[in-house]
Structure 1
Amino acid sequence: MANGLWGRTVSALIVGVLLSVAAAMPTLAQSARVTVNGTPITDVQISQRVKLFALEGNRGGSKGATEQLINEAIQLAEAKRLGISVSNAQVDDAFLQIARNLKMSSDKLRQMLQQGGINMDTLKDRLRAAIAWNAVTEQAIMPQVQISDLELDQQAANQIQAYQGFDYILKEVIFVGQGSSARTGQANSYRRSFAGCDSAVDLSLKFTDAAVIDVGRRHATQMPEAIAKELAGLNVGGITKPRVVESGVSMLAVCEKAQAEDLTFIKSDLRAEAGNDALAGETEKYLAELRKRAKIIYN
Structure 2
Amino acid sequence: MTTPLPVHRLLRFALALTVGAGLLLIGGTTPSRAQNIVLMVNGEPITDFDIEQRGRLDELVSHKKPSRQEIINELIDDKVKIKEGKKYGVDPGPSDVEGSYSGMASRMRITPDQLTKSLEMKGIRPETLKSRMRSEMVWTSLVRGRYKERLQVGEKDVADKVQAENGEKLQVEGTEYKMQPIVLVVPRGSADATLEARKKEAELYRSRVGSCDEANSLFRSTPNAAIRDSVTKTTADLPEPLRKVLDDTPVGHLTPPEVTKQGIEMVVLCSRKPTMIDTPKKREIREKMYVEKFEKTSKSYLAEIRKAAMIEYR
Q: TM-score, normalised by structure 1?
A: 0.55
Seen in structure 2, the aligned counterparts of structure 1 residues 111 and 155 have a Cα distance that, compared at 3 Å, is closer
Alignment partner for residue 47 of structure 2, among 34, 42, 49?
Answer: 42
Give the letter for the 1:98 counterpart.
M
Q: Name whichever of 151-160 and 71-80 sits farther off.
A: 151-160
For 1:192, the equivalent position in structure 2 comes to none
For 1:135, the equivalent position in structure 2 comes to 141
**Cα deviation, residue 14, structure 1:** 7.8
Alignment partner for residue 295 of structure 2, among 277, 280, 290?
Answer: 280
Q: Deviations over 1:185-231 (max 9, x none)?
A: xxxxxxxxxxxxxxxxxxxxxxxxxxxxxxxxxxxxx9xxxxxxxxx
Q: Tell me, what secondary structure is at the counterpart of 1:143?
A: coil
For 1:80, the equivalent position in structure 2 comes to 86
For 1:52, the equivalent position in structure 2 comes to 57
Seen in structure 2, the aligned counterparts of structure 1 residues 18 and 128 have a Cα distance that, compared at 3 Å, is farther
Alignment of 1:197-236 (within 5 A): none
For 1:289, the equivalent position in structure 2 comes to 304
Alignment of 1:6-17 (within 5 A): 11-13=6-8, 15-16=10-11
In 1, the alpha carbon distance for the partners of 2:278 and 2:171 equals: 13
Do 1:17 and 1:130's aligned partners in 2 also have CA atoms closer than 8 Å? no
Alignment partner for residue 95 of structure 1, among 101, 104, 112?
Answer: 101
In 1, the alpha carbon distance for the partners of 2:59 and 2:172 equals: 55
Do 1:13 and 1:134's aligned partners in 2 also have CA atoms closer than 8 Å? no
Seen in structure 2, the aligned counterparts of structure 1 residues 24 and 292 have a Cα distance that, compared at 3 Å, is farther
Seen in structure 2, the aligned counterparts of structure 1 residues 167 and 98 have a Cα distance that, compared at 3 Å, is closer
Seen in structure 2, the aligned counterparts of structure 1 residues 288 and 16 have a Cα distance that, compared at 3 Å, is farther
Give the letter for the 2:291 counterpart.
N
Seen in structure 2, the aligned counterparts of structure 1 residues 269 and 298 have a Cα distance that, compared at 3 Å, is same
**Cα deviation, residue 67, structure 1:** 0.7
In 1, the alpha carbon distance for the partners of 2:7 and 2:293 equals: 15
Seen in structure 2, the aligned counterparts of structure 1 residues 167 and 104 have a Cα distance that, compared at 3 Å, is closer
In 2, the alpha carbon distance for the partners of 1:278 and 1:267 equals: 17
Q: Tell me, what secondary structure is at the counterpart of 1:294?
A: coil
For 1:160, the equivalent position in structure 2 comes to 167
For 2:265, the equivalent position in structure 1 comes to none
Q: Tell me, what secondary structure is at the counterpart of 2:119?
A: helix
Alignment partner for residue 117 of structure 1, among 123, 137, 150?
Answer: 123
Seen in structure 2, the aligned counterparts of structure 1 residues 34 and 152 have a Cα distance that, compared at 3 Å, is same
Do 2:13 and 2:60's aligned partners in 1 also have CA atoms closer than 8 Å? no
**Cα deviation, residue 74, structure 1:** 0.8
Structure 1 residue runs without a partner (length 5+)? 1-6, 169-221, 223-245, 247-261
In 2, the alpha carbon distance for the partners of 1:72 and 1:166 equals: 41
In 2, the alpha carbon distance for the partners of 1:85 and 1:69 equals: 17
Q: Deviations over 1:237-296 (max 9, x none)?
A: xxxxxxxxx9xxxxxxxxxxxxxxx99546544322211211111111111111122122
In 1, the alpha carbon distance for the partners of 2:277 and 2:161 equals: 10
Q: Which has the higher helix share?
A: 1
Q: How many residues align?
A: 197
**Cα deviation, residue 160, structure 1:** 2.4
Identity score, percent: 22
Q: TM-score, normalised by structure 2?
A: 0.53
Structure 2 residue runs without a partner (length 5+)? 18-28, 174-235, 237-243, 245-275
Give the letter for the 1:142 counterpart.
K
